[in-house]
Amino acid sequence: MSISFKGRVIATVAAAAMVASACSSAATPAPTMAPATSAPTIAPATSAATTAPATSAATTASTATAAASASLLDPASVPLTLAEFNALPPAPACTGTKGTIGLADATLSAPFFEGIRQGVEDMAARLCYTVIFQSADDGATQTNQVQVMLAQKIQALIYIPSGADAASVPVTDANAANVPVIAVDRYATTGKYVTFIAADSVPGAAKICDYLAQGIGGKGDILVIQGQIGTTPYLARTQGCNQALANYPNIHIVGQAPANWDRTQGYNVSSDLLQAHPSAVGIFGMSDDMAIGAAQAAAAAGKTEFIVGFDGLPDALQAIKDGKQQATMLQPCFHFGMLAVVDAVLTIQGQAAGIPAQQLTMPILVNQANVDQYLNKGYYGTLG
């Protein structure tokens, strides 16, 4: 006997709903994608200039003053924070615009990319350049956006790829149009770039995992909340963390699961893992959004965990101050944006020769002891 019509309809629609929900959860727009370096094949040792921003505010303030008298276009003296930027002496008034720079950013619901945007727009305004700005959740949309920007005759492109794989089409299009490309946070494997600006995720992850290991006394069980599997930040931070944990044979990763850089998924996954592994005493969230989700889940479950993240989101710094999270690695994204604009302007003015191929910044370890030096200082622009 055949299935009744109604039964068939129900089953078909349910199957369609199932497939669609599986597809939609598989192709999550990854709204809070964490930033990081791209393929770990970049060996930090080969970068010509590695900025170490772990200087005190006083030193950088005096550097900024020096910049006032020197040219504004000195990459070495680009301010680190919004506070320092505002402390620069007033710039000469702009008489019209000197040129146009395109910014193809990843999704703004990840504060890191919003911080980059603010850095780009603030510095461009100071240097009298117009910015054409677009942001996207996925590579396909970004490709369209870049093509439109090129049609609008931008003179340089600052490109922060979104999507799990950096799309190289925008880069090859820009190359073909003789528009120089500055990549921030990650880059596609084909295409020519003037420079690549990012944080050094592998040693950064090694440092934070080492801190976690020390924090739980060198032994015990930990959980890892992973980013989107296969993405370059995931690969880099996995590599770095494993390097660090190799020195602690008594520490075991008893549970790990991906949460796709999303805070909601981070919460749900942590909640389940905490139930499955009541012996866990530490959690490494590969991005702060997921780490905050893990912290909330631990609080709801009534458990105290040693939680570390990565990125230095203002929310995370506040959580560290409140004691809900223990540490993170701060990436100065506002600084990245400003540096990208300075490099773009130098290139437009024909002075690209001195710009190194890679500019990797070692992120800063922030914990409760030093969080006041970094919270609300403008490392993420107006976000905190």
Partner 1 sequence: MTASWVLAAGRRLLAVADHEVTIPSKERAGDGAASGGEPASANGSAPGTSRASVAAVLRRASRAGGSSGGLAVVFVVLCAFFALSSPYFLTYGNALAIGDEIATLGVIAAGSTLVIISGGIDLSVGASVALGATVMGVFYQYQGIPLPIAIVCGLLAGTVVGLINGLVITRGRIAPFIATLGTMTAARGVANMMTNGVQVSGYPLWFDQLATKRYFGLSVCTAALILVFILVGIYLSRRPGGRQVYAVGGNETVAKLAGINVDVVKIKAYALTGFLSALGGIILASRLDSATPSLGTGIELQVIAAVVIGGASLSGGIGWMGGTVLGVLIIGILSNGLNIMGVSSFMQQVVIGTVIVGAVMIDSFRRRAH
Q: Select 70 or 229, whichever has its Cβ closest to partner 1.
A: 229
**Candidate segments 150-158, 243-251, 258-266, 356-364, binder of partner 1 by CB under 8 A:** 258-266
Rounded Cα gap, residues 265 and 370, in angstroms:
29
Rounded Cα gap, residues 121 and 127, in angstroms:
10
> Residue 111: how many CA atoms within 13 Å on its side-chain side?
22
Q: Select 33 or 174, whichever has its Cβ closest to partner 1.
A: 33
Q: Are strands 306-308 and 181-184 parallel, antiparallel or unpaired?
A: unpaired
Using CB under 8 A, which of 81, 135, 143, 359 touches partner 1?
A: 135
- Please report whether residue 288 would count as binding partner 1 according to CB under 8 A: no
CA distances for 75 relative to 111, 185, 237, 352, angstroms: 24, 17, 27, 11
Nearest distance in Å: CB 191, partner 1: 27
Residue 310 has which token pair?
């990565």
- Please report whether residue 141 would count as binding partner 1 according to CB under 8 A: no
Rounded Cα gap, residues 384 and 372, in angstroms:
12
Rounded Cα gap, residues 20 and 267, in angstroms:
23
- Please report whether residue 3 would count as binding partner 1 according to CB under 8 A: yes
55 secondary structure, DSSP code: -
DSSP 249-277: TTEEEEEEEE-TT-HHHHHHHHHHHHHH-
- Please report whether residue 302 would count as binding partner 1 according to CB under 8 A: yes
Residues 207 to 236 in contact with partner 1, rule: CB under 8 A = 229
**Cβ neighbours of residue 252 under 8 Å, at least 6 residues apart?**
220, 221, 222
- Please report whether residue 91 would count as binding partner 1 according to CB under 8 A: no
Using CB under 8 A, which of 52, 278, 350, 369 touches partner 1?
A: 278
Ramachandran angles phi, psi of 69, nearest 5°? -80, -30
Residue 125 has which token pair?
């305004």
Residue 306 has which token pair?
């040693």
Nearest distance in Å: CB 278, partner 1: 7
**Candidate segments 43-51, 107-115, 166-174, 187-195, binder of partner 1 by CB under 8 A:** 107-115
Q: Are strands 49-51 and 358-361 parallel, antiparallel or unpaired?
A: parallel
Residues 352 to 371 in contact with partner 1, rule: CB under 8 A = none
Using CB under 8 A, which of 76, 176, 250, 272 touches partner 1?
A: 272
Rounded Cα gap, residues 181 and 56, in angstroms:
32
**Candidate segments 15-23, 166-174, 177-185, 236-244, binder of partner 1 by CB under 8 A:** 15-23
Q: Select 292 or 348, whichever has its Cβ closest to partner 1.
A: 292
Rounded Cα gap, residues 46 and 195, in angstroms:
13
Q: Are strands 49-51 and 220-226 parallel, antiparallel or unpaired?
A: unpaired
Using CB under 8 A, which of 84, 311, 315, 343 touches partner 1?
A: 315
Q: Select 117 or 237, whichever has its Cβ closest to partner 1.
A: 117
Q: Select 16 or 94, whichever has its Cβ closest to partner 1.
A: 16
- Please report whether residue 140 would count as binding partner 1 according to CB under 8 A: no
- Please report whether residue 24 would count as binding partner 1 according to CB under 8 A: yes
Using CB under 8 A, which of 50, 130, 172, 318 touches partner 1?
A: 318
Binding site for partner 1 (CB under 8 A): 3-7, 9-11, 13-15, 17-22, 24-26, 28-29, 31-32, 107-109, 111, 114, 135, 229, 255, 257-258, 263-264, 267-269, 271-278, 292-293, 296-297, 299-302, 315, 318, 383
